[in-house]
Structure 1
């Protein structure tokens, strides 16, 4: 609803009321039209202020209406009616003005924002574009380059930046509605002809074609196959080259194409998938997400390597008091400097003071004795972590939650070292921990619901997408990634090159292919781990036994590179060559190609032509197949959990929805058929054998992805 009242005698106050974010549903749009007509027909009303209830102006369109026939007045004529008003209309922006909410504000004649408000046009993040005049009005108001930056990225803009750019008229630290009413009184009775943005000329440089060509190249590169950012550039170009009415028509045409696209469907799915993953529960269980988290005021981080430093920064930025423990003096001094630098840079970006006083450093584990929770982030070694957990169990006060940052070690083994295993939960952060959005919260068989709930809530406060997953080797993300990696190596053995594999997967939308990723993270990281596992056999370079470990097909290619001292970017040589150690620009390496030919010859392998489609199917379907096994095993509660993990943690292109959604879009029967084909050709790779859950879903008619949770629940109930 939109409520109408008259304040200060002559100002009509229209309050948007559609909790929680005053989304512009069909009913609300119609209501705004109705109360606006009332305000305009009231001779006592000389100006109008539009605000939102509960300190939020408007979060935009009602996403649940997308793809459906909308009721009520469409947003475009509503905004045109505001702009055409002969009485001044002032938007009082508190909280957020996003998407359609900002477009509504741009239809007003003036905009007053609270200093903590955020504004933006984030439609591109849903595979769409601003379609209520956003691509036409914003460039007319703030210029083409600034408008393109905001529209093609979907980023949120602070009130201070909005004032600087010129799309709000005033910023206040006080009551925004009061400030807007005061402003409305000052402009009452004035002509609004010069305030209608649709009448503004679009400020254009002399060579507008060159500007848009340059911008289109940049956007294509960063979009990695997403079509919405491209459409946004085309929409802004229409503002620069066409009259307003024709530009609006072009905006509508572009939006009509986007809204029905598979990419928009994927990104709308992902929007709701994030909500589903946040409503965590143990598969087949009940009540987990109703468990109340415990309040946390003080936390400890044990181990200040790369991950520990990032975790400490994330905790401080959340507002907690942090004790950072590192027993090695040199490492501690380096960590102090690094953490202080990260906090200062973060504060500079946010405009706040760096909270350096919230963190205290110690070389003694005893310093963690009075905290509410501990996050252990020592080196990924089970014996070392067991030792730390045993010590923490004796040192910490009763009830302290003991969390471990591990990428795949058994949570239950660590819990067994403590006197209260129910307090132990995994928190798998992704590097850099204070930046990356994903957090896998790993519960063991004895983890208490409250321990999990507290970890989930803490992740949320850090601004992360927290996903609760079960305890198994590699959890969800790394367990699936293993099979993706295996296929990338096997493809090289069979005739592919790193350039072909990377090119295919980057064209699909990954920010980088697997071999560029291995070079970036360090090929030696996995090599050292495989050595500890006994998988690396020194001196074994050829023959049948070189390519089999524990009865399964194994590729020693990465191990052989490490034997040559080729660790990736850090050494200037890996799967590619770099100008210098630490260099970032990957170039094809003739030595590597000769090495692959020699390896194939030694092992009796005949190179064949591998095409890009096979690369995609082998790498992606092997990964997806393991995703179905994870669902079958109850490690993830639903496909949404897996998709959120892969988009936020592993670079899966958001416009493709996530691996399980992608399987649904391709068709489960097609995925099953191709897996069967590749398993027939590679009997020594059991991970290519289709999962029984995939077979059951296909046999039951390939139900839509939003019903899989119920299907899986029924399957579990029959076990």
Structure 2
């Protein structure tokens, strides 16, 4: 971990060396300061080039050290940047690969910036609950202007080298040897004045409506990142660049950084960052690991069904360069599906090109559309994506078993049906696995990989490797009704509907959950997905409730409270946005703007009166508890059952597939943050007065953890038993 120096004539080349991504550790920063001091005292050196080893400039700070090192060391990077900026010899940053976070801030300290055409730059600290803490919020606005800097700093978005050149962030983009090009540039600028190139001395161009710009940015970010602090504080840091001299702005940036650094939201964001990586290392309690098996390459994949989900899966496969065979049942459905797939691919390509990513635009594999089942015979992998009907899926898998080559992997995109039952009709249950994509599949990154009892390590390994090729975040889960994500969603939605019976409106419940950070509350979400999705699933499993009789205070089904409200709305044709009416009303069928529906309010009032349901008004913070704590409780039960191998699995599924705000870490992290004793006590209180709601009964694992003093979340795995749903 050091900064290496070599000479190319009068130009000194400094190379950051800290594999694999040249993270700016304290040791690297100290080495940079030392080398810079030596070079500036060397009269034979006339210019400097700063680059990174192995084709990467720097991915910034190593956040693994955030919880172990003293926070003050994060400030030393600004010492390096200041030394770069004040150098009496011109310094050119030679950017290859990535310049992220502190890496980009390092480049901003240089006098010139040159990058390879395929390089990317970003300030992603905001996505870790922080802000750029080494001058990024003060230098970048001085270089590219406040509007563009705000966009980059407050969203953490990656910017391609061509786009960065257009913004003025880079001085040049090259297609060949970056270091040599930087050395050539350094030769050309020897002796030129450096004051105009020092961003600390550059005046900040302010638009006349700058205060309005900041206010509008805060409003936009509040809506886009509900409840998140770091995005708002980033605006305050950029505002400091306008209101304060550079040196004072640096101090203000540091103050704001430290405020965020010690916050629960930053801890949650950083936990989410590592949780996303930990799920890729899934290991069964027996010690079996899918990585112990070698994945097989997937060159040709088939998709059965070109509805919304199948289209997205086909696009995802084609985008990864995989040859796709897309099958539909009739000519009309095939034509609709093929047009939709080609349209999505064309839009994606155009969007990339418009954003300046022309060289990184997706190169789609060939997609063949067919009605002939026999075309699937030579596919390496097949993904069935028809609607949720067990009989239909089993019929398809029987046919696949007969016509596909013996080594073909058979995948089902089911959101909750029994993988083992589907596998039972095949001649290769060890090659059958669940691939639960999330809609739209070409956008949503989450993939629940559902291991059946017979799913082999090679099958799991192949699908996990495929998920990486597709750019997905895959989580291995066990086989049970609804798997992990939808299983936890059941108690959440159930409690939300019970709150309607108790006197609340959909808008009141949604508002509380959206203030917490969800992009949509349960009722807006249900309207978007379509109420009939859950209705069909309940009918498939025989769970649609009996009609209420007058005088019955709550619907009972096998001794359990059951609300028929969603079923009643479906029976009335109120299926959500698609019909223009659901829990809300819309301006038209397919509309997006939800408006409170007077009819629904009147209907709920009549419903309560007819069935003598006494209104039970609770505080808004209690609405949060009623909805979230049963969801969390189900998460503990999932861990008990061995369906998820650890709390991180559940949290990644929820932050990437169900809109749980990342600044709250995920349901299991949130439980640890508010305190397991509080969660347990609240559930016990609620269950005591609602014995007919099993989801409120505290799980044995939750009780066990509280009894053991509520150990940190990272120690929960040691309390888990063996998986009960797999032989692995």
TM-score (norm 2): 0.96
Instruction: Give distance in 2, aligned partners of 1:542 and 1:574.
Output: 24
Match of 1:681 in 2: 689
Contact persistence 2:320–2:470 (CA under 8 A): yes
In structure 2, the residue matched to 1:323 is 325
Out of 397, 405, 430, the position equivalent to 1:422 is 430
**Structure 2 residue 198 is the aligned partner of structure 1 residue 190:** no
Cα distance, 1:412–1:47 mapped onto 2, change above 3 Å: same
CA distance in 2, matches of 1:639, 1:508: 21
Deviations 1:574-603 (A, max 9, x none): 111222222211111121111111111122
Give the secondary-structure state (helix, strand or coil) at the position aligned to 1:74: helix
**Partner Cα distance (1:207, 1:420) in 2:** 67
Distance 2:521 2:327 in 1: 36
Determine if contact 1:258/1:264 at 8 Å carries over to the other structure. Answer: yes
Cα distance in 2, alignment partners of residues 191 and 657 from structure 1: 49
1:594 to 595, 599, 602: 602
The aligned runs of 1:220-369 (5 Å cut-off) are 220-350=222-352, 351=358, 355=363, 358-369=366-377
Q: Does 1:555 align with 2:555?
A: no
Residues 419-476 of structure 1: per-residue CA shift (max 9 Å, x gap) = 1100011110000001001110000110001101111111112111110000000100
CA distance in 2, matches of 1:27, 1:713: 42
Instruction: Indicate yes or no: 2:450 matched with 1:448.
Output: no
Determine if contact 2:301/2:382 at 8 Å carries over to the other structure: yes
**1:565 Cα deviation from its structure 2 partner:** 1.6
1:482 aligns with 2:483: no
- The answer for the alignment partner of 1:174 in structure 2 is 176
1:384 paired to 2:385:
no
- Identify the match of residue 95 of structure 1 among 89, 94, 97: 97
State the secondary structure of the residue aligned to 2:411.
strand
- Pick from 690, 694, 699 the counterpart of residue 691 of structure 1: 699
Structure 2: distance between partners of 1:566 and 1:48 = 68
Q: Which residue of 2 aligns with 1:492?
A: 500
Equivalent positions of 1:466-615 (< 5 A) are 466-536=474-544, 540=548, 542-544=550-552, 547-615=555-623
Specify whether residues 72 and 144 from structure 1 end up closer, same or farther in structure 2 by C-alpha distance, changes over 3 A only. closer
Q: CA deviation at 1:284?
A: 4.3
Please tell me whether the aligned partners of residues 75 and 134 of structure 2 are also in contact (alpha carbons under 8 angstroms).
Answer: no
Partner Cα separation in structure 1 for residue 702 and residue 102 of structure 2: 40
Mapped contact 1:90–1:108 kept (Cα < 8 A): yes
Does the residue aligned with 2:450 lie in a helix, a strand or coil?
strand
Offset of 1:616 from its aligned partner? 0.7
Stretches of structure 1 lacking an aligned partner (at least 5 in a row): none
**What is the distance in 1 between the residues matched to 2:641 and 2:542?**
27
* Contact 1:298–1:372 (8 Å) recurs in 2: yes
SS at match of 2:720: helix
1:145 counterpart SS class: helix
Is the 1:29–1:73 contact (alpha carbons within 8 Å) kept by the matching residues of 2? no
> For 1:672-697, what per-residue CA distance to the aligned partner results, in whole angstroms no more than 9, with x for missing partners?
00000010010001111000000000
Query: How many Å separate the matches in 1 of 2:74 and 2:547?
Result: 74
Mark the CA change 1:651 to 1:16 in structure 2 (over 3 Å): closer, same or farther: same
* Greater displacement, 612-621 / 695-704: 612-621
Q: Which residue of 2 aligns with 1:666?
A: 674
Structure 1 residue 296, shift from structure 2 partner: 1.5
Q: CA deviation at 1:86?
A: 0.8
Q: How far 1:8 moved relative to its partner?
A: 2.9
- Partners of 2:80 and 2:629 in 1: how far apart? 47
- For 1:590 and 1:583, the matched residues in 2 are separated by 18
Maintained 8 Å contact 2:680/2:698: yes
Indicate if the aligned counterparts of 1:281 and 1:468 stay in contact, CA closer than 8 A: no
Q: Does 1:643 align with 2:651?
A: yes
Paired residues of 2:546 and 2:564 also in contact (CA < 8 A): no
**Cα separation, 2, equivalents of 1:322 and 1:65:** 43
What value does the CA root-mean-square deviation take over the aligned residues?
1.7
- CA distance in 1 between partners of 2:38 and 2:220 (Å): 47
Query: Once the 2 structures are TM-superposed, how far is the Cα of residue 356 of structure 1 from its aligned partner?
Result: 5.6
Q: State the shift of 1:190 in Å.
A: 2.2
Whether contact under 8 Å (2:569, 2:582) holds in the other structure is: yes
Instruction: Report if aligned partners of 2:312, 2:341 keep a CA contact under 8 Å in 1.
Output: yes
**Counterpart selection for 1:216 from 210, 215, 218:** 218
1:395 deviates by: 1.0
User: SS of the residue aligned with 2:378?
Assistant: coil
CA contact under 8 A between 2:109 and 2:199: conserved in structure 1? yes
Q: Separation in 2 of the partners of 1:538 and 1:700? A: 43
1:99-135 residue CA offsets vs partner (Å, 9 max, x unmatched): 0000000000111111111101000000000010000
SS at match of 1:379: coil
- The residue that corresponds to 1:65 in the other structure is 65
1:466 aligns to what SS in structure 2? strand
Counterparts of 1:242 and 1:604 in 2: how far apart (Å)? 64
Please state how far the C-alpha of 1:283 moved relative to its aligned partner: 4.0
> How many angstroms apart in 2 are the aligned matches of 1:598 and 1:73?
63
3-state SS of paired residue (1:152): helix
CA shift in 2, pair 1:581/1:72, >3 Å: closer
Q: Is contact 2:389-2:540 (8 Å) kept? A: no
The alpha-carbon distance between structure 1 residues 127 and 3, as it changes in their structure 2 partners (threshold 3 A), is closer
Offset of residue 501 of structure 1: 0.8
Greater Cα offset, 572-581 or 226-235? 572-581
Structure 1 residues 301 and 715, CA gap change in structure 2 (3 angstroms): closer
Give distance in 2, aligned partners of 1:359 and 1:216: 43
Map of 1:712 onto structure 2: 720
Cα distance per residue 1:208-253 (max 9 Å; x no partner): 2222112121122212010000100000011112111111111011
**Which residue does the alignment assign to 1:31?**
31
Once the two structures are superposed, what CA deviation does each residue of 1:547-567 show, in whole Å capped at 9, x if it has no partner? 122332110001111222211
Structure 1 counterpart SS, 2:51: strand
For 2:703 and 2:550, how far apart are their aligned partners in 1? 37
Asked if structure 1 preserves the Cα contact closer than 8 Å seen for 2:633 and 2:695, the reply is yes
Residue 425 of structure 1 contacts residue 442 of structure 1 at CA under 8 Å; is this kept in 2? yes
Q: Distance in 2 between matches of 1:320 and 1:542?
A: 59
The alpha carbon displacement at 1:545 in A equals 9.6
Closer/same/farther in 2, CA of residues 144 and 423 from structure 1, 3 Å limit: same
Shift of 1:403: 0.9
**C-alpha deviation, 1:349, in angstroms:** 2.6
What are the Cα deviations for residues 165-192 of structure 1, in whole angstroms up to 9, with x where unaligned?
0011000111111111111111123221
Task: State the Cα distance separating 1:6 from its structure 2 match.
Answer: 3.1
State the distance in 2 between where 1:431 and 1:165 align.
34
Matches of 2:702 and 2:37, distance apart in 1: 56
Does the 8 Å contact 1:283/1:636 carry over to 2? no
Residue 132 of structure 1 is matched in structure 2 by 134
Secondary structure (helix, strand or coil) at the match of 1:369 reads: helix
For 1:588 and 1:545, how far apart are their aligned partners in 2? 26
Which residue pairs with 2:637 in the alignment? 629
Equivalent residue for 1:10? 10
